[in-house]
Amino acid sequence: MSVANAFDLLEVEGVRDGDVSFRLDDVVQGAMEHIPEGGINRQLVGDVVKAVVAALLPVMQSIAAQVSPKVSVQKVQASLQKHDVRLDEMEQYSRRDNIVLRGVPEKEGENTNDVVIEVSASTGIKVVGADISTSHRIGRPQPNRSRPIVARFVRRDLRTDILRNKRKLRDSQHKDIMVSEHLAPGRAKLLHAVKQDDQVERVWTIDGKVHCILKGDPRKLTEVSS
C-alpha cells in the first residue's frame, strides 16, 4: 500500500485525532533522534515516513475492517431503494392505459369486455369492443368474493374519460362498482398507508400519483411521493 493510500485511511469514521497523534508523535520522535544535527538526511526522512506508515497501517486497517462493512451495507441499501423506485415507476408507466373494476359479481362464462363496455356506458362514455386491448380478472378465485377486472384500452383518452366520470356510477345500476387506476404495488401500498392517516381528509390518484387533502386545510392539495 502506498503512503497516500495509508493516510487515506485516516478519513475512516471512528478514528480519534488524539489516538492517532499519540502514536504518530512516538514514532516520529524516535526516528528524529537519529537525524544528525545541522542537516537532514533524505534517506532518514524516508525511513521516518515508512516507519510512521508501518506503525499506523495495522490500526487503520483494523478500524476500516469494522467500519467499511457498515458503509457498504448503507450504500447497497440506498442503491436497492433507488432501484425499487425506478422499477415501480416503470411498472406504473406500463399500466397507464388500464383501469380496474371492483365489485363486479363473477359469472361463469362471462365476457369481461362486455362488462367493461356496460359499466363504461353508466359513466356516460361509449366504449366498443375494438377500444379494449384486453380485459380479465386478476387474483386467485375466492369463495364469496369477486375478483377485480383489469381492462387495457387502445385509446388512453377513453380510460381518462371513464375515470373522470366514474362518480356517475353512484346514480346508476352499477352503484356498487368502483372504478380506479391500475396502480403498481408500490403506489398501491402508498395509497393504503395515506388512507390510514388520521390527518388525511381525502385521498385519490391521478396518473399513478397519490394526492390528498389534509383535515383543517381543505384548499391545499398535497402530492405524496413516499
Q: What is the pLDDT of residues 104-162, one digit of tens each?
A: 999 989 999 999 999 999 999 999 999 999 999 999 988 889 999 999 999 999 999 99
Query: Are 104 and 173 in a shared domain?
Result: yes
Q: Cα(12)–Cα(151) distance, rounded to whole angstroms?
A: 55
Query: Which residue in the block uniquely carries the three cell numbers 521516518?
Result: 48
Query: Which residue in the block uniquely carries the three cell numbers 488524539?
Result: 18
> Reading across the β-sheet that carries 200-206, which strands appear in turn?
200-206, 209-214, 221-224
Query: Are 125 and 47 in a shared domain?
Result: no
Tally of domains within the chain: 3
Query: Are 139 and 109 in a shared domain?
Result: yes
Query: Are 169 and 209 in a shared domain?
Result: no
User: Between these two residues, 185 and 64, which has the higher pLDDT value?
Assistant: 185
- Please tell me whether residue 134 adopts helix, strand or coil conformation: strand
Q: Domain of 147: which CATH number?
A: 3.30.70.1820
Query: Are 83 and 129 in a shared domain?
Result: no
Count Cβ atoms below 10 Å from residue 136 Cβ, excluding itself: 12
Q: Does pLDDT of 173 surpass 80?
A: yes
Query: Are 27 and 103 in a shared domain?
Result: no
Count Cβ atoms below 10 Å from residue 144 Cβ, excluding itself: 4
Q: What is the mean pLDDT of the chain?
A: 78
Q: Does pLDDT of 63 surpass 70?
A: no
What is the pLDDT confidence band of residue 9, given thresholds at 50, 70 and 90? Answer: very low
Query: Are 103 and 114 in a shared domain?
Result: yes
Q: What is the pTM of this model?
A: 0.62
60: domain range?
Answer: 3-92
Q: Cα(23)–Cα(58) distance, rounded to whole angstroms?
A: 12
Domain boundary (44, 59, 92) is at 92
User: Between these two residues, 205 and 57, which has the higher pLDDT value?
Assistant: 205
Domain boundary (92, 109, 130) is at 92
Query: Are 7 and 88 in a shared domain?
Result: yes
